[in-house]
Chain A
């Protein structure tokens, strides 16, 4: 059972380049999330999805787009990377129904992105 898998693990981009981060989960979870982690700031929610075909903005959505075409996958896109997007990105999933507010989130191991 793989849990939550993120690819790639590391990436270096130049300003203005684009890329897509892939998150895949095999636990049949409805909810999926993208967070960024920066020193001293904890985890901040970028975008999330409450089910296949749905997405919503989180706390820091600017500069990012997402898609959830399949239930098990949640993609995070950077159309034009900026140095401020240098961060560690985590995908998480959890919950199989609307009463899942006390279910734990399962996290991937992160993608370390550097934008120069």
Chain B
């Protein structure tokens, strides 16, 4: 069965600093990977998705993620954090076909001035 592990329940950065949120996956077949963001009192929104077309995936709001099969990782990065990036971020995986996603436990990003 596929699963994802997000390292760090909380990550704190200063405004303007690099954002790195970690996600490792396990899957018996080539996976489809996603990052979702959740702002306070809202549902989840798609940031980006990997579907094997390219290993470096660019998403909304300046975020990107790189699929590394050798490391079974799909880490999310942003060169310069903004206060508005403060939110909870979820990595998710599906093995394809019917899109029953499996979510990680989430990482809360805190951005300080």
- Distance in angstroms from B76 CB to nearest chain A CB is 15
Taking CB as reference atom, which chain A residue is nearest B48? A104
List, sorted by A's number, 26 A–B pairs whose CB atoms are closer than 8 Å: A31-B98, A31-B99, A40-B105, A42-B90, A42-B106, A43-B90, A44-B103, A45-B100, A45-B101, A90-B43, A95-B99, A98-B98, A100-B99, A101-B32, A101-B94, A101-B98, A102-B32, A102-B49, A102-B51, A104-B46, A105-B36, A105-B101, A107-B45, A109-B41, A109-B42, A110-B41
In this complex, the member of A45, A95, A101 whose beta carbon has the largest number of chain B beta carbons within 10 angstroms is A101
Count A/B pairs, Cβ under 8 Å: 59
Cβ of B51: which chain A residues have Cβ within 8 Å of it? 102
Cβ of B106: which chain A residues have Cβ within 8 Å of it? 42
Total number of A residues with any Cβ neighbor in B under 8 Å:
27
The yes or no answer to B96 lying at the interface (CB within 8 A) is yes
Grouping DSSP codes into helix (H, G, I), strand (E, B) and loop, the B interface class, with mixed when no group exceeds half, is loop
